[in-house]
Amino acid sequence: MDRRTFILAGTALATAACSGPAGLAYWDLFSGGDGSRMMDMVGAIGTRLDAVTLAWGTPYYTKLAMAAAGGRAPDLAILHLSRLPGFAPMGLLDPFDDDLLAAHGLTQDRFPPAVWNRARSDGRTYAVPLDTHPLVLFYNTELCGKAGLLENGRLRPIRGPEQLLAAFDKAGLALAAARDVNPWRLFWTLYRQQNGQGLLDDAKALTALRLLGKIGATTRFTDNNAAVALFGSGQAGFFWNGEWELPTFQTQHTPFDVAPFPQVYDRPAVHADSHAFVLPHQRSRDPQLTAQTISAVAELIGQSLTWARGGHIPAYQPVAASQAYLKLLPQANYRSAAAEVELDPPVWFAGAASDLQSAAGATIGAVLGGTKSPEVALGELKATLVRLRNTPKPA
């Protein structure tokens, strides 16, 4: 737990201790702007939540899994949907009551199919999606305008590898490829755009890796902070990353807009994940508290417009289709991506902050950096998958 997270957790606990009966225990992993917006949402609802923010990534998921394995977990928690295959089948989550969800308007038809389907396991609902957060293409409107890449003020559609490389060559690309999982996200997008199935189709994986090698040759090999700085200061016309970087460029007054990830191959698809509310396993779950928890989930989902200001696309369609969201720009300009999302493969060792993302990200990042050939990288990716498949599942 870092210092800031410790302070947040301590503040929440102190507040709970000093202001009357305890509320529902709620864990999340949001810091920075997302953390502030989540606290605004928690403060705006009628149900009291005693929120504790833990460090993002492996520390969070380790602590959540250990608490659930012991049956002494909080009432409510946030989980990346991509991590659900590593939690629900292992008994680390309790299923939602579909009738109670429906009583609060939380039904399948009000969420994008791509995320609702991943919220279920073995015929039961284990998560309620708050958002989708896909890769997007940020573009500097001044630089891209000078390069002749705009039409009526918006980026012209980019189709196919040649148009993509030409656009990056004209306006410049800032790309996080060093010490980052972004290369895995890019690879999975291009692989699934070819309708690549399973882990892995050699020919389609190699096609994706070869294109990434060419893209890497058009940009500087850098980490995320440097890539954000390059785009934010107007030194690159494009920035390829998640929409969560949007508030940074708004704060810096960068002249920019955002487009969905271009369709380079046969079908639209983009790597994404979804923050979702889950019920971590409790040994003796109290029915009354569980009903209150589901009510709180519905209230938080109803606050999705606040969440969307940070760049995330609301999963709850009554909010995503509202005039208030459609007027929220540039967020609404890439809302179509919600229908094209591709989460990590549904295996227990994949998902946010997983061994697969970090190991594959390092291998693919070396292709982007020009220090490893696509052919060698393919062999390493397959070896990584074999190693992870042969690793015993956590008990």
pLDDT tens string 339-379: 999 999 999 999 999 999 999 999 999 999 999 999 999 99
Q: Which residues contact 113 (CB under 8 A, 6 or more apart)?
A: none
Query: Per-residue DSSP letters for 121-162?
Result: ETTEE--EE-EEEEEEEEEEHHHHHHTT-EETTEEPP-BHHH
Q: Which domains are present in the chain?
A: 24-130+274-340 (3.40.190.10), 134-272+354-390 (3.40.190.10)
**Is it the case that residue 250 has pLDDT exceeding 90?**
yes
Which pLDDT belongs to residue 15?
43
The answer, yes or no, to whether residue 288 has pLDDT greater than 80, is: yes
pLDDT at 352: 94
Percent of the chain surpassing pLDDT 70:
94
With cut-offs at 50, 70 and 90, classify the pLDDT of residue 89: very high
Per-residue confidence at 16, pLDDT binned at 50, 70, 90? very low
pLDDT in tens, 136-195: 999 999 999 999 999 999 999 999 999 999 999 999 999 988 777 899 999 999 999 999
In angstroms, the CA 110 to CA 107 distance is 6
Distance CA(331)–CA(239), nearest Å, equals: 16
Average pLDDT score, the chain: 92
**Burial of 323 from C-beta contacts in 10 A (0-12 / 13-18 / 19+):** exposed
Cα distance between residue 140 and residue 184, in whole Å: 24
pLDDT tens per residue, range 299-347: 999 999 999 999 999 999 999 999 999 999 999 999 999 999 999 999 9
What contacts 89, CB < 8 A, 6 or more positions away? 121, 122, 348
Question: Mean pLDDT lowest for which of 13-17, 245-249, 281-285?
Answer: 13-17
Mean pLDDT of 270-288: 96
Q: How far apart are CA 293 and CA 109, in angstroms?
A: 21
